[in-house]
């Protein structure tokens, strides 16, 4: 069982568990066409979204969060604990996968980077994971900047590796970071 990483501050953001009374508004944000432009899953059913997010605070592997700025919800952060690849006997629950969506009114102010760094801090500093990955559409320069400013390195360029209903076959980038790399970027007390 992992410790709860939220609430936490990351730059200008407060990251916290979602509240039941805000799930409808979060579903509207998640379904915003501007938010979903580069996402493979461009629409979520509101009832399914509410059901999934209502289980987050009690989950052993889903540490997704809400991002608040100035008392207003501006984004969603996704952090899942996963098993890596390996032979029998490999330690379980050592890897994480992050993702994020940000309200368009909050774009261009560094809040996406704050959110990504907060997710990485939770993964490494609180949950003690050894490796974290993230992916983005290669044609989404804003997400590329967020992941690289957060300290992640590009490991893969998948050429036409994903189907997008509106964009056709698209290229994707896969980013990763190891715990020692995170520690070198953020010595104790500098987070």
More confident residue, 41 or 95: 95
Q: Delimit the domains of the chain by residue range.
A: 8-82+91-185
Q: What is the mean pLDDT of the chain?
A: 92
Which uninterrupted H or E stretch holds 82? strand 72-82
Q: What is the pTM of this model?
A: 0.93
Other C-beta atoms closer than 10 Å to the C-beta of 115 total 31
pLDDT at 66 > cutoff 90 = yes
Looking at residue 86, what is its pLDDT?
81
pLDDT at 14 over 90: yes
Lowest-confidence range among 69-73, 131-135, 166-170?
166-170
Residue 116: pLDDT over 80: yes
| CA separation for the pair 47, 41 (Å, rounded) | 16
Furthest CA-CA distance within the chain: 47
The answer on pLDDT for 3 being more than 90 is no
Q: How much of the chain exceeds pLDDT 90, in percent? A: 77
Does domain 8-82+91-185 fall under CATH 3.30.1490.20? My reply is: no
Contact 63, 127 (CB under 8 A): yes
Strands 95-102 and 65-69, bridge-based pairing: unpaired
pLDDT in tens, 28-45: 999 999 988 888 888 889
């Amino acid at each position: 069982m992992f410790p709860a990483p939220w609430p936490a501050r990351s730059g200008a953001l407060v990251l916290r568990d979602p509240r039941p009374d805000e799930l409808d508004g979060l579903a509207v944000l998640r379904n915003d066409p501007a938010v979903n432009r580069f996402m493979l899953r461009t629409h979520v059913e509101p009832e399914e979204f509410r059901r999934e997010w209502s289980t987050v605070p009690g989950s052993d592997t889903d540490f997704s969060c809400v991002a608040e700025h100035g008392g207003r919800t501006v984004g969603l952060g996704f952090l899942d604990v996963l098993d890596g690849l390996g032979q029998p006997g490999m330690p379980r629950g050592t890897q994480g996968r992050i993702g994020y969506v940000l309200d368009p009114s909050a774009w261009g102010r560094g809040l996406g980077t704050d959110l990504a760094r907060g997710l990485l801090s939770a993964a490494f500093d609180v949950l003690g994971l050894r490796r974290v990955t993230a992916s983005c559409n290669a044609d989404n320069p804003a997400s590329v900047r967020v992941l690289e400013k957060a300290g992640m390195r590009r490991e893969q360029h998948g050429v036409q590796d994903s189907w997008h209903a509106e964009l056709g076959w698209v290229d994707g980038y896969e980013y990763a970071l190891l715990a020692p790399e995170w520690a070198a970027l953020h010595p104790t007390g500098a987070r």
